[in-house]
Amino acid sequence: MKKIILATDFSRNAKNAIEYGIQLFGIQGVNYIIVNSFVELKATTNVVVSMNDLLRKESIKGLKVLEHSLTEQFPSVSLDSRSLYGSIASVIEQITLDEKVYCVVAGTKGLSALERFVMGSSALDIIKNVKLPVLLVPEGSAFHSIERVALAADYHHMEQVQFLSPLIDIISEQDAELKIVHVHTSNETLNDDEASEDMKLHNMF
């Protein structure tokens, strides 16, 4: 069974990304792990200890509400939820120490197209630090069947080709067209190494 992490901060944007992910990957043979993280306050006073306890209780409460909403929306979906201390990237890495995770789904938001990609701190934390395939869902995206997929390729040697597995599955299950896009920095043709990587990608797909 595939295990997919759904990252949430309980925002509308995160909920939309979760719904998108479930509709994309389906409910057959998939176990979704909803993850909410919160930063532990470093101090020893009773006030801070109480605040940490409050944050944890609110996180657990939010996960229960979200899980209930999703099971009503997707009756047969398999869901687990985790409330953990730390940054979102660190808690995802913690989960992967004990479980094999297929990919991570997270939402992005911001004031502009660029900011939607780079300004969301949780999404950026995941991109920079999580060594897993990541599906980022822009704010307000509605799920629809996928007809075309563009894969940006620099044709450098890819050591961990398993990161492409979710993409391969999406293309196959959605019966989508794949376009591999490579941008030249000059008018020269591919060198031998780049041509070799190009062939490997074509053979893989």
Output phi, psi for 179, to 5 deg. -120, 120
Q: Which fold has domain 2-144?
A: Rossmann fold (3.40.50)
pTM: predicted TM-score of the whole model, two decimal places = 0.85
Residue 14: its pLDDT value, please?
93
DSSP state of 98: H
Q: Residue 175: which pLDDT band, with cuts at 50, 70 and 90?
A: very high
Residue 49: its pLDDT value, please?
59
User: Tokens for 184?
Assistant: 């030249």
User: In the predicted model, is pLDDT for residue 30 greater than 90?
Assistant: yes
Helix ranges (H only) for the chain are 12-25, 46-73, 88-98, 113-118, 121-129, 165-174, 192-204
Residue 39: its pLDDT value, please?
74
Residue 8: its pLDDT value, please?
94
Percent of the chain's residues with pLDDT above 70: 88
Which residue did the predictor score with more confidence, 112 or 122? 122
Q: What is the mean pLDDT of residues 146-171?
A: 86
User: In the predicted model, is pLDDT for residue 63 greater than 80?
Assistant: yes
Q: Residue 17: which pLDDT band, with cuts at 50, 70 and 90?
A: very high
3-state SS of 43-88? Answer: CCCHHHHHHHHHHHHHHHHHHHHHHHHHHHHCCCCEEEEEEEECCH
Closest to 36 measured CA to CA, from 92, 98, 101: 92
Output phi, psi for 180, to 5 deg. -90, 120
The CATH 3.40.50.620 domain(s) of the chain lie at: 2-144
User: Tokens for 96?
Assistant: 């992967």
Among 71-75, 82-86, 192-196, name the most confident range.
71-75
Question: How far does Cα 145 stand from its chain's mean position?
Answer: 19
Percent of the chain's residues with pLDDT above 90: 56
User: In the predicted model, is pLDDT for residue 157 greater than 80?
Assistant: no
Nearest 5°: the CA angle 68, 70, 73 is: 115
Which residue did the predictor score with more confidence, 113 or 191? 191
Residue 111: its pLDDT value, please?
44
Residue 110: its pLDDT value, please?
56
User: How many other CB atoms are found less than 10 A from the CB of residue 58?
Assistant: 14
Instruction: Answer whether 181's CB lies under 8 Å from 148's CB.
Output: no
User: In the predicted model, is pLDDT for residue 92 greater than 80?
Assistant: yes
Biggest distance spanned by C-alpha atoms of the chain: 66
